[in-house]
Amino acid sequence: MSKNWAEVAYAVNSRARELSLKQKEISDRSGVSLAIVREIQQARIERQRNPRTLEALSLALEWHPRHLTAVLNGVTPPNIPATKVAQDPVIPLLNTVIRELRGLRAQIGLLSSRLIDLEGSRSPTRENNKERMVD
């Protein structure tokens, strides 16, 4: 099933007009960076995004958390009203912290694998390393 980022952009833009929200307000409410809000609203960069990004935007636009994911996948969005979670200013901040932590975890994983590769390239075999450690 293909992803329809143009429909997501249309939905976000229509809802933002309905609620009289500017990009900065959507960014502040959702905890999603202003640059990503712009990308999504303009359907400029069509790429895989963290599902929490669309969830945070859905909540900021006072929709069900899975609304924009459904639009992206060409499925009818849930007809369940969103809770007022988006109104709590702490939630977007926590979402931002969670995204940052995930990014840091990914960077640490990358650095760890690079160190392992570097260590492996310095010695002929792992067996030789083990023998050296025993001696």
CATH value at residue 11: 1.10.260
- Rounded to whole angstroms, the maximal C-alpha distance in the chain is 73
- Which structural domain range is residue 112 located in? 5-134
- What distance in Å separates the CA atoms of residue 71 and residue 59, rounded to the nearest whole number? 14
Residue 54 is predicted with a pLDDT of: 92
Query: What pLDDT does residue 134 have?
Result: 58
Per-residue model confidence (pLDDT) at position 23: 93
- 60, two tokens: 């900021």
Q: What is the pLDDT along the chain (135 residues), one digit of tens a residue?
A: 568 899 999 999 999 999 999 999 999 888 898 999 999 999 877 777 888 899 999 999 999 999 999 999 999 888 776 554 445 667 777 777 877 887 788 889 889 989 988 888 876 655 555 555 555
User: Residues of 88-114 as b/e, b for ≥16 C-beta within 10 angstroms?
Assistant: eeebbeebeeebeeeeeeeeeeeeeee
pLDDT in the model for residue 15: 95
Q: Is the pTM of this model over 0.75?
A: no
How many CB atoms lie under 10 A from the CB of residue 47? 7
Considering its fold, how many domains does the chain have in total? Answer: 1
Cβ neighbors of 35 (< 8 A, separation 6 or more) are: none
H or E stretch at 117 = helix 90-122
Residues 6+ apart with CB under 8 A from 32: 26, 53, 56, 57, 60
